[in-house]
Structure 1
Amino acid sequence: MADITGGPGNACMLALAAFFAWVFHGMAIALALVFLCALTHPGTRATADAGTPERVSAHR
């Protein structure tokens, strides 16, 4: 079990917690950016033909 009175074990746990905080915040920022990109993505509007798309069967 970790020593809660201080010492090198406590310093390692604090350093690891600080690292995980950076990782967590970085992933949250990346997720927000991807969400904004998904909102602006044209989806099916990028196709030239506005008609119904042809279905391609996987079974031939």
Structure 2
Amino acid sequence: MFQPLLDAGVAVVFPLFFVLAIGGPLLLWWLIDTESDGEESEHRDWSSAERAARCDTRDRR
């Protein structure tokens, strides 16, 4: 009686789970990778990174 309904549920849930299981980590990796690229382009040398860090600590006081 419920067999076609269960088959339809499995046909929807399994691909959705598969897409989220593969797509979720890939999306997270992409977001982290783009964030780290932004930090590298912002501070290309040690002195500019240190200057930015010192400005951050002055703002907190």
Distance 2:11 2:36 in 1: 38
**Amino acid in the other structure paired with 1:11:** F
Query: Secondary structure of the equivalent of 1:30?
Result: helix
Distance 2:10 2:24 in 1: 22
Distance 2:21 2:33 in 1: 19
Are 1:6 and 2:9 matched, yes or no?
yes
Corresponding residue pairs, total: 39
Considering fraction of residues, name the structure with more helix.
2
> What is the TM-score when the length of structure 1 is the normalising length?
0.51
Alpha-carbon shift at residue 41 of structure 1 (Å) = 1.5
Unaligned regions of 5+ residues in structure 2, if any? 1-5, 46-61
**2:34: which partner in 1?**
31
> What is the TM-score when the length of structure 2 is the normalising length?
0.51
Larger C-alpha radius of gyration, 1 or 2? Answer: 1
RMSD: 2.2
Unaligned regions of 5+ residues in structure 1, if any? 43-60
